[in-house]
Amino acid sequence: MHELSYVVRFADRAIAIAEQQHAASVRKLVVQVGEMTDVLPEYLQKYYPEVAAGTILEGSVLETEPLRAKVKCLQCGNEYHPEKETNYLCPACGSASGKVLEGRQVVLKEVVTESF
Ligand SMILES: [Zn+2]
């Protein structure tokens, strides 16, 4: 269960951003969860209030949005979304030599702060 470590890291970064912006409070954090990770958005949301408590983040929410996977075919250069129906193969040439460009990361996309 590594969701908690992500939450701690994102909370630290959000606090730093809020301080930089001299924000009065933080409304929400937006986190993108790659569809090829095993991170469960509901756990991020579950841990967040505990981590936020007692900081400027208290009372804010953590929102998650899915980050679509993107694979680049090393045979023909085509970039595609891997589909289960095609066994995740390149739809242009049928090659399995794809390199994952996106979808394996969990990133803090946005921190929404309030200045009054
Ligand atoms: Zn291809």
Confidence (pTM): 0.86
Q: Cα(95) to centroid of ligand 1, in Å? A: 5
Q: Cα(87) to centroid of ligand 1, in Å? A: 13
Q: What is the enclosing helix (H) or strand (E) of 15?
A: helix 3-20
Q: Cα(94) to centroid of ligand 1, in Å? A: 6
Q: Residue 71 in contact with residue 81, Cβ under 8 Å? A: yes
Which domain range does residue 29 map to?
3-114
Domains: count for the chain: 1
The span from the CA of 103 to the CA of 79, in Å, is: 13
Q: Cα(84) to centroid of ligand 1, in Å? A: 16
pLDDT of the chain, 116 residues: tens digit per residue: 689 999 999 999 999 999 999 999 999 999 999 999 999 999 999 999 999 999 999 999 999 999 999 999 999 999 999 999 999 999 999 999 999 999 999 999 999 999 87
Q: Residue 105 in contact with residue 37, Cβ under 8 Å? A: yes
Output the domain CATH number for residue 94: 3.30.2320.80
Q: Residue 39 in contact with residue 105, Cβ under 8 Å? A: no
Q: What are the tokens at 80?
A: 């595609």
